[in-house]
Amino acid sequence: MQGLYFDELSVGQSAEVTHVVGAADIEAFAAVSGDVNPVHMDEAYARTTTFGGRIAHGMLAAAYISAVLGNRLPGPGAIYLSQSLRFRRPVKIGDPVTARVTVKALDDAKGHATFETVCLVNGKTVVEGEALIMVPRRDAPRKS
C-alpha cells in the first residue's frame, strides 16, 4: 500500500479525520503511554480542577494528526521528521476531535513537505502546530 508521492502534493491540499473521544480511548492511551495523571483518570479528582472533569491527554489528540498524515495525506510511506504542538483547549470525554493537515510548503530538493496541523472541537482549536514529513518520490529505489 502506497500513499501519495511527493509530486502528487500541492500547497493547500488537505485531509482530515474526526474521532469522538471516549473514556476507553483515554484509558488505552494511559496504558500505552504510562501517563496516569488523575486529571485524565479520576473523575472525582478532575472535578476539583479548573477543567471540571476528566480531560484527554493532549498527546492523544495530537495522535489523530499522526493518523491523518500516516493514513490519508500523504499516507502510507510518509515519515514524520518533526512536529511542533500548542495545546490551546482541553478535550473532554464525548468531544468530536477533527484533526486536519494542510500542505503549507514543499521542498523539492529534500522531498520534504511542511504541513499546518490542527485539531478542532466544535470549530474551536484545541491543538495546533506544524509537521515536517519526508514524502516518498515515485522514482526512489526500493529497499529489499
Residue 65's nearest CA partner among 102, 21, 10, 30 is 102
Q: Does the pLDDT value for residue 141 go beyond 90?
A: no
Tell me the pLDDT tens digit for each residue of 77-119: 999 999 999 999 999 999 999 999 999 999 999 999 999 999 9
Residue 98 has which C-alpha cell?
477533527
Residue 144 has a pLDDT of: 52
Query: What average pLDDT score do residues 3-30 get?
Result: 97
Residue 126 has a pLDDT of: 98
pLDDT bin (cut points 50, 70, 90) of residue 74 is very high
The residues, ordered by sequence, that sit 6+ positions from 129 with a Cβ below 8 Å of its Cβ are: 62, 65, 83, 84, 85, 86, 117, 118
Q: Does the pLDDT value for residue 142 go beyond 80?
A: no
Is the pTM value of this prediction over 0.75? yes
In angstroms, the Cα distances linking 13 to 58, 89, 114, 118, 142 are 25, 26, 11, 14, 26
Tell me the pLDDT tens digit for each residue of 24-53: 999 999 999 999 999 999 999 999 999 999
In angstroms, the Cα distances linking 81 to 4, 37, 127 are 17, 28, 19
